[in-house]
Amino acid sequence: MRETWRWFGEFDPLSLSEVAQTGAAGIVSALHAVPYGDLWTSEAIVRRRAEIEAAGFTWDVVESLPVHGDIKRGTGPLSRHFDTYRASLANLAQAGVKTVCYNFMPILDWTRTDLSLPVPRGGTCLHFSTSRMAAFEIHMLGREAAHDTYDPEAIRAGDMWFQDSTEATRDALLHAIMAGLPGAVDRFDVAGLKDALDRYEGLSHDDLRANLKRFLEEVIPTASALGIHMCIHPDDPPRDILGLPRIVSTEEDIRWIMQAVDDPANGLTLCTGSLGANPRNDLPSIARSFGHRTHFAHLRNVIKEQDGSFTESAHLAGDIDLVAVIDELLEAEANRDTNIPFRADHGHALLSDIGQTFQPGYTLIGRLRGLAELRGVIAALS
């Protein structure tokens, strides 16, 4: 497996010279300043690649080449969006960048309710609380329908939290949830989020699946011809939120996607933390079933709670048997004669991470610890 490190370019407080000290060989990056739906030009791609290579790395994975919201909703100038996406893929292939991660989650790329939950022995982590999410949806957004999507106990706990909340704690919850918006997008206030949600009103799981299938049919043949591996990222968290459907949350969802356009270019980003937050998912089994279509891996761990809440744990300390998952991926590599790029996904804020302005989860010391632990597992299994 090939060690990589996610780097946010001009939006990252870490320099590539600092990243080099982690030992990672490849970089996972994107053109984060380009608005969704705009063309990734050859010139911009080559500049980013040259910047990465000048620091002694290769640009191994694009994360992400975003899918415009119109495509997810199935509205707007779809032909233009598909043409632009295919042209961006062609420009990436010309520059030799041939693994592309993307997601199909409406509005939010990921969702947490707490960005700095204290952990034992010091440091902080990311956390998702179903009760606080229920409180946000029911009390702050006024979504009465949310009563049907949360466990009654989580709703009661959310009611109590909201009754005791202050303007500051409610603002902190909104800030944490809005952190999951794509990097260069302005953060919404409550009214802005309601407006964004209104644009998805009535979108069902079947609708979103149909729109994903159309995207795959439009894009995968081009990717295949260019030698590009597309790899969809699972939902994070793997459940419906804000009244928005989620369709990449289970092993059954992944199987449907792989069969929708049955081409090796239509692949998976195996994110153990996202899939692992769903108690139905057996991560070693998923790695075994889809190792032949896994083109990229995010390795992290979570501790789940009975009500669906979860806490991001140290990489080898959670509910997921990452050793077994890595063993399956190494077997898949051997069968495919390839190296699957992976990155230590997220990390606790530890030591000098505290107080720094990293993207949530993308700390230096926490990820370095995770990478070292995963490196040891891979060395032992190999």
Q: What is the DSSP string of 14-61?
A: S-HHHHHTTT--EEEE--TTSPTTS---HHHHHHHHHHHHHTT-EEEE
Q: Look at residue 184 in the predicted model and tell me its pLDDT.
A: 52
Write out the H or E segment, with its range, that includes residue 86.
helix 78-94
The angle that helices 251-260 and 283-290 make with each other, rounded to 10 degrees, is 10
Cβ(112)–Cβ(136) below 8 Å: no
Q: Look at residue 141 in the predicted model and tell me its pLDDT.
A: 96
Average pLDDT along the chain, 382 residues, taken 10 residues at a time = 97 96 98 94 98 98 96 97 98 98 95 97 97 98 95 96 97 95 74 94 97 98 98 97 96 98 98 97 98 98 96 97 98 95 98 94 97 98 96
Q: Of the candidates 258, 242, 265, 261, which has an alpha carbon nearest to the alpha carbon of residue 190?
A: 242
Provide CATH 3.20.20.150 ranges for the chain. Answer: 2-108+203-303+319-381
Catalytic residue set: 233, 271, 298, 345-346, 362
Q: Of the candidates 322, 324, 338, which has an alpha carbon nearest to the alpha carbon of residue 370?
A: 322
Rg for the chain (alpha carbons), in Å? 20
Q: How many CB atoms lie within 10 A of CB 338?
A: 13
Q: Look at residue 183 in the predicted model and tell me its pLDDT.
A: 59
| Residue 153, φ and ψ in degrees, nearest 5 | -65, -40
Euclidean distance between CA atoms 156 and 150, whole angstroms = 10
Q: Which pTM does this prediction carry? A: 0.96
| Residue 101, φ and ψ in degrees, nearest 5 | -90, 140
What is residue 291's DSSP assignment?
G
CATH code for the part of the protein at 2-108+203-303+319-381: 3.20.20.150
